[in-house]
Structure 1
Amino acid sequence: MLKKKFLIYFIFIFFILNNVSFSIENKILAKIEKEIITSIDVENEAKYLLALNESLNNFSKKEIFEISKKSIIREKVKNIEIQKQFKNPNIPDDFIEQILKNVYQKVGIENLEKFKQYLNYNNIDYDYVKERVEIETLWNELIVAKFTSKIIINENEIRQQLIANTKKYSKSFLVSEIFFATSDSKQIENIYNDIEKTIKNEGFNKAILTYSSSSTASTVGNLGWIQEEALNENLKTIFFEMNEDEYTKPITVPGGFLVLKINKIKEEETNQNIEKKINEIIAVKKNDQLNQFSKMHYNKIKKDIKIYEF
């Protein structure tokens, strides 16, 4: 079954990638500090993103171009900060390969060798993918080192809530996000009105592309499945009043604001192992807080970096 899924996806992506060329002429599109971004850089980024994100296939060439351009700008900004914070950063190959395993298994590929073949067949340099993984790994390491001490999780409160609210089934929500930042409180409503107008006219995915400054924009804002126990009380109340395909008003988070859309809702049998459930919830809450700190730190450093787009 896995091989069949991989073969179908392999053929489909090959067709898409070979029809995604944007321009024969190589132009300078942006300059970030001393680094430049060209149209070929963006085309390579588009191939990379399409190969790993099946959901991007529904976008037009122009939209994929914009997603790819924003994505590569984010990576350049992150890398500049990494170079400032780490002297001769080095990540063991076996650690990188483990992360890559998570990447290629998501698209139905069984092992690293087949993943390299898949990339080569679609004219994607393996070293390019490896470098992207290294940048994200070092960025995450930076965020963990900088903000772990600021994470607030009340394990006892989680335990008491689980014991008090034991039930046979619990809900999970498949969520997408739009993250935006503004220092002008008067602009929040205006930005949200623009987002809402885009959602109504062109869909939530288009609004993500246009307005979201989060790294999740390159995966169409996907946050994955979130269990109800991992939600704070405010967000749980909001989600329980929503239906599938509905979205929230702006929610204040560190560094900016979130608009969340519930794509799907499912009910599953509750895990009766309290200790295991507690550890799962702690991991989700910790990851959520680190993601918010990551967005906040990115927006902060981006303000201090000279970015010119042409």
Structure 2
Amino acid sequence: MRIGLLGTGPWARAAYAPALAGHPGLEFAGVWGRRPEAADALARRYDVAAYDEVDALLADVDAVAVALPPSVQAPLAVRAARAGRHLLLDKPLALTVADARAVAEAAERARVASVVFFTARFQKEPAAWIEEQAAVAGWFTARAQWLGAVFTTDSPFAASPWRREKGALWDVGPHALSVLLPVLGDVTRVVAAGQGQGDTVHVVLDHASGASSTLTLSLTAPPAAAGAEVELRGEAGVAALPPGTEDATTALTRAADALLTAAATGRPHPCDAAFGLRVTEILTTAEARLTGTGD
């Protein structure tokens, strides 16, 4: 499968480009970026073509991987799907329900495969744990803490405009939901419990299984307090999400495996654009509760 990369930022350079270049089932065909000089530099590093126009890249590939801000990703993903290109996308899929739905509908209509990269779903240990817990009945409640130190360290993502505007709810909230939803079921009710220091938010969810969960999300945690934890409690006792030992490039390689399988079989992956849409819907409701604009 010939695949092109849309994006040249820190995430594209650190994870996407090496994953695409090193995957035995992919031919890394080229790069497009909003800054042509950055696209040229990244393309030279991997000895691939740099494209000045998105449509020119789409004409030369079977699939695209997108490492761009969600508001940029969504319309380009629609464009790629309409051109018949399979989609390896990043979370969050989009920042509005309308944009996320446009991607999901475009992929469905074009019958192209889509995979949204939620890191924990493609790391070996967390992915296995999620599958195991989803088969266990009787979960009563869950607690998820996803605490990042993006804004309290020299992280390359600290200057990201969309992260500055939307905060932890939209950056690490998708990770928490990607773990909880396959285990506890879809969300039926969302309550925002308030806003803490910096961009810290607290969200309470009711799930279709009857279980409830609480989320504490932040990108402004003190570095010593940063980390991710998920704990389930129910009839089977207590279960804790194991830490992932694989880096992002390895997890992205597995996401690319999933895209290849979905494209070959026609069977949607659990983390497809439709799932990305559902995550966007839940986050949008949570944001409305936090800002007082929801009912």
Same fold (TM over 0.5): no
TM-score relative to the length of structure 1: 0.27
Which has the greater radius of gyration? 1
> Could you say which structure has the higher helix fraction?
1
